[in-house]
Amino acid sequence: MIGVILAAGKGTRLRPLTYAIPKPLIPVSGKPVMEYAIDNLKDVVDKIYIAVSYRKEMLEDYLRHVDYGVEVETVSTLGWETGGDLRLLITDKNIDDDIVVAYADVITKPHLDRMVAFHKKRKADATVLLFSVPDEEKERFGIAIADEDGKIERFVEKPKEEIPSNLANAGYYILDRNVLPQLDFDKEKVERMLFPKLAEKGTLYGFKDTLPLWVDIGTKASYAAATRLIEKNGYIFKREDE
């Protein structure tokens, strides 16, 4: 399996922090935010690509000085939405393998090994990491309606209408190699380009996980909140089932 960290945004909502350094290197409790995703991915993939479009050379310089125990390589994209950038990366690197995708600005600690096993057992075209969110926050996420087996019957990105589900995309998903050609070279999100089609087809699944912590650093307010939470709870989040 190949890991992909989507980090092509310029982080405009985090300015002035991102005037000096790219968003993936923004420190959260003394650790670049992208490293939380690397730590999650490295145990289930053979290589990790970081999709970037802003200050790539600074990321490469940083990566030269760190050994993660897995090969990590930056790849230039156009800063499109997730679908177009993934298609560019897959084409550029001739990827013909299942990929595990993570958002660079999300900090959490999922059971990725169990998610991969779940994905393979169900022979899914795609599997989304899902967690429960409050009703008032559903507009921030992609929301899935799933049955007891995890098959997603409907997926709506940032719904404006009332959706009878609280299961949200946690910023990680697996794409089977067979569906990679369905990604288009355009400025559209995978969540809008591909997930609704696969749900209609019956090959989109959701892995429901109880996450010990989920935060993003998309804005200055959420960045400050993430830093406080990480410093309070520590990086190695304790789970009730471990």
Catalytic residue among 47, 93, 158, 208: 158
158 belongs to the catalytic site: yes
Q: How far apart are CA 152 and CA 223, in angstroms?
A: 31
Extract the tokens encoding 228: 């406080």
C-alpha span between 223 and 185 (Å, rounded): 31
12-22 as b/e, with b when 16 or more CB fall inside 10 Å?
ebbeebbeebb
CA distance 117 to 129: 13
Are residues 140 and 158 in contact, defined by beta-carbon separation less than 8 angstroms? yes
Report which of 131, 113, 89 is spatially closest to residue 174, judged by C-alpha positions: 113
Maximal CA-CA distance, the chain: 48
Catalytic positions: 158
